[in-house]
Amino acid sequence: MRAYAEGMRIAIAGGTGVVGRHVDRLARLAGDDVVVLARSHGIDLVSGEGLNLAAVDVVIDVSGPGKGDHGGPVAFFERVTTNLLNAEEDAGVGHHVALSIVGAAKINTGYYAGKRAQEDLVAAAMAEWTILRATQFFEFAEQVARPFGPWVVAPKVRSQPIAAASVAAELLRLARSAVAGNHEAHGVHEIAGPHERGIADLLRELMGARADARRVLELPLPGRFGRGLRDGSILPGPAAQLDDVTFETWLEAAR
């Protein structure tokens, strides 16, 4: 293993996504050698084509299904995780860090079921692994909003949202600590934002900052998935690390 101060060779699966871009930026600023694993870099994580992890110290997996990926979230995460773990074994990679979602095991349907499958594969296959469960990102509010005439519709969600950049920083901290031999960085960790906030409330603040006069309509999603989003299943546990970046601070920086 390389010493903490010497930097690392990090492979970032999904390094062009919402969190991946932050991991890439922060790692390069710290002097780490970064390998981005994404289709735009000639690597298909679903098929495994182009996947080579030679001389990599740690893999940070923040990948997610795109519009062109078929088969649903479970199939995506099973294929990608299996390909990564096999490539890590072939290359002798020492540690695997995966980003998951708080409440994935409780809801266990849709995207959350995919994350549950990913967690199970990592925990079963790797001797040394870390899973970071994060709450919804501040960026999530705009992603799930749907225009409807003079309204913008948002799902009813109880969450404790967090800035994606803060999640990226914690992923890197855990990766560096694990590579340096700190076993406290292994296993399952949770991170969340400082306050419980509804997604609709975040969207109202965001639209207000943009002088968008449309009104936000909050609607509950149907089924087990919708119930899980609003019954507290995706709120962090008592041992979760709480970030200090508020939505207002994030929104001001985003301007």
For residue 1, the model assigns a pLDDT of 41
Token pair belonging to 66: 């795109």
Domain assignment present for 71 = yes
Domain assignment present for 219 = no
For residue 254, the model assigns a pLDDT of 82
Domain assignment present for 39 = yes
Domain assignment present for 253 = no
Distance CA 205, CA 209 (A): 6
List, as one string, the DSSP characters of 16-32.
TSHHHHHHHHHHHHTT-
Domain assignment present for 148 = no
- Do 159 and 230 contact (CB within 8 A), yes or no? no
Per-residue pLDDT in tens (0 to 9) along the chain, 255 residues: 444 435 799 999 999 999 999 999 999 999 999 999 999 999 999 999 999 999 999 999 999 997 766 779 999 999 999 999 999 999 999 999 999 999 998 998 999 999 999 999 999 987 799 999 999 999 999 888 899 989 999 999 999 999 999 999 999 999 999 999 999 999 999 999 999 999 999 999 999 999 999 999 999 999 888 999 999 999 999 999 999 999 999 999 987
For residue 88, the model assigns a pLDDT of 96
Domain assignment present for 154 = no
Domain assignment present for 53 = yes
CATH of the domain at 117: 3.40.50.720
- Do 236 and 135 contact (CB within 8 A), yes or no? yes
Number of domains in the chain: 1
Distance CA 183, CA 208 (A): 45
Domain assignment present for 8 = yes
Distance CA 6, CA 131 (A): 24
Domain with 168, as residue range(s), is 4-134+164-192
Pure H helices in 92-233: 104-107, 111-125, 140-144, 164-179, 199-209, 223-230
The pTM assigned to this predicted structure is 0.93
